[in-house]
């Protein structure tokens, strides 16, 4: 299987890539790791005239700390996110999610920026990054702007990125002391993609009371969904088995999942409550340490 013919340009810098995007307009498409785009091109679901390769741009890879944020270059591959000491120390849920993507070979090529910009509704990273309140730095010729995660995933395979912007980095706030993070998923047994997944970020006082929580669920909609009712069911309450179970039971409220041949809507909603509970319990355990 071959993609349709296309032209290829290796960008030398972000600025260079922005100019190439302006030149090629709608006929151009950015290439990162290519692990969503190339399969789509081989299936002729996408036939861009020109690929603008960001893989040749230096400085877009790696994990660092800037003030109170973890900064992950958009071209950082999943394997490097999963094994990063900084990620594992500060936001283990993100390392966990990155380690669950695809398989070894896919994680060695697929990138965090490519994955979130592709915005597959069955992807792992949008869910965990929603729970972590990440933001996305988009660069255009007129400068940079940061897009908050709650505004970023707008629809199936659609983000708030404009056609003249390049996603350069993902910023993850380093959680406060007493915070635990966790990500769990029910993968499709053949593809490994998300059937339902849940991510939890819980801040816990020494007394055992929850002071802050963000819960995100994947697999129920066009993108990650904040389980607001679950969050409210935890905040200010003691993190007991009963409180957690009661809050998690609300994780699929007001959702209308798409049925598919593997899982029906009711099943997905039910699994979401179970996985929300698992994620919260795991996050609470980490918050204790």
Partner 1 sequence: MAAEAQFAALPVSITVNGVKHDALVEPRTLLVYFLREHLNLTGTHVGCDTSQCGACTVHLNGRAVKSCTVLAVQANGAEVKTIEGLADGDNFHPVQEGFREKHGLQCGYCTPGMIMTAVHLLETNPNPNDDEIKHALEGNLCRCTGYVNIVESIKWAAAKMKGGAK
Give the x-and-dash track for 113-142 against partner 1 (CB under 8 A): ------------------------------
Nearer to partner 1, 102 or 173 (CB): 102
- DSSP assigned state of 207: T
2 is a contact residue toward partner 1 (CB under 8 A): yes
Shortest Å, Cβ 48 to partner 1: 11
Please tell me whether residue 45 binds partner 1 under the rule CB under 8 A. Answer: no
Under the binding rule (CB under 8 A), the answer on residue 102 touching partner 1 is yes
The interface region with partner 1, picked from 104-112, 129-137, 149-157, 177-185 by CB under 8 A, is: 104-112
Q: Which is nearer to partner 1, 51 or 252 (CB)?
A: 51
Closer CB to partner 1, residue 34 or residue 208? 34
Pick from 13, 19, 62, 106 the residue near partner 1 by CB under 8 A.
106
DSSP string computed for 27-83:
GEEEESS-TTHHHHHHTTS---SEEEE-TT-TT---EEEETTEEEEETT-BHHHHHH
Select from 45, 104, 177, 206 the one that contacts partner 1 (CB under 8 A): 104
- The answer to whether the CB of 147 falls within 8 A of the CB of 160 is yes
Q: Does 103 bind partner 1 (CB under 8 A)?
A: yes
One character per residue 79-98, x = contact with partner 1 (rule: CB under 8 A): x-------------------
Residue-wise burial string across 11-48, b where 16 or more C-beta atoms lie within 10 A, e elsewhere: beebeebbebbeebeeebbbbbbbbbbeebbeeeebeb
Q: How far is the CB of 245 from partner 1 (least distance, A)?
A: 30
Phi first, then psi, for residue 180 (nearest 5°) are: -120, 145
Q: For partner 1, how many residues bind (rule: CB under 8 A)?
A: 30
Q: Which of 37-45, 145-153, 165-173, 225-233 is the region at the interface with partner 1 (rule: CB under 8 A)? A: 37-45
Residue 5 is given by DSSP the state: P
Per the document, the length of the chain is: 289
> Which C-beta is closer to partner 1: that of 100 or that of 239?
100
Q: In angstroms, rounded to a whole number, what is the distance separating the alpha carbons of residues 75 and 54? A: 8
128 close to 275: Cβ distance less than 8 angstroms: no
Among 114, 112, 15, 100, residue whose Cα is nearest residue 70: 112
Q: Does 59 bind partner 1 (CB under 8 A)?
A: no
Of the candidates 213, 215, 181, 220, which has an alpha carbon nearest to the alpha carbon of residue 198?
Answer: 215
Query: Whole-angstrom distance between the N-terminal and C-terminal Cα of the chain?
Result: 50
> Is residue 154 close enough to count as binding partner 1 by CB under 8 A?
no
Pairing between β-strand 158-159 and β-strand 69-73 as defined by DSSP bridges = unpaired
Nearer to partner 1, 5 or 261 (CB): 5
Interface ranges with partner 1 (CB under 8 A): 1-8, 10, 31, 34-35, 38-39, 42-43, 49-51, 53, 55, 79, 102-106, 108-109, 192
């Amino acid at each position: 299987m071959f993609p349709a013919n296309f032209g290829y340009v290796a960008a030398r810098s972000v600025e260079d890539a922005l100019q190439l995007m302006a030149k090629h307009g709608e006929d151009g498409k950015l290439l990162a790791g290519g692990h969503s785009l190339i399969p789509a091109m081989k299936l002729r679901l996408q036939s861009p005239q020109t690929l603008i390769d960001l893989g040749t741009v230096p400085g877009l890879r790696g994990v660092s700390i800037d003030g109170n944020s973890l900064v992950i270059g958009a071209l950082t591959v999943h394997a490097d996110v999963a094994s990063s000491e900084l990620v594992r120390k500060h936001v283990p849920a993100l390392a966990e999610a990155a380690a669950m993507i695809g398989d070894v070979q896919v994680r060695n090529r697929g990138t965090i920026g490519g994955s979130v910009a592709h915005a597959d509704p069955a992807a792992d990273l949008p869910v965990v990054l929603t729970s972590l309140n990440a933001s996305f730095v988009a660069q255009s010729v007129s400068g940079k702007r940061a897009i908050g995660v709650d505004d970023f995933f707008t629809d199936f395979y659609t983000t708030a990125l404009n056609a003249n912007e390049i996603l350069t980095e993902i910023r993850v706030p380093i959680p406060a002391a007493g915070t635990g993070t966790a990500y769990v998923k029910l993968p499709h047994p053949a593809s490994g993609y998300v059937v339902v997944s849940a991510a939890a970020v819980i801040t816990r006082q020494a007394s055992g009371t929850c002071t802050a929580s963000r819960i995100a669920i994947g697999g129920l909609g066009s993108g990650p969904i904040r389980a607001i009712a679950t969050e409210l069911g935890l905040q200010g309450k003691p993190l007991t088995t009963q409180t957690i179970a009661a809050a998690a039971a609300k994780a699929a409220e007001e959702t209308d999942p798409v049925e598919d041949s593997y899982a029906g809507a009711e099943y997905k909603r039910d699994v979401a409550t179970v996985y929300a509970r698992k994620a919260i319990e795991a996050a609470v355990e980490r918050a204790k340490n």
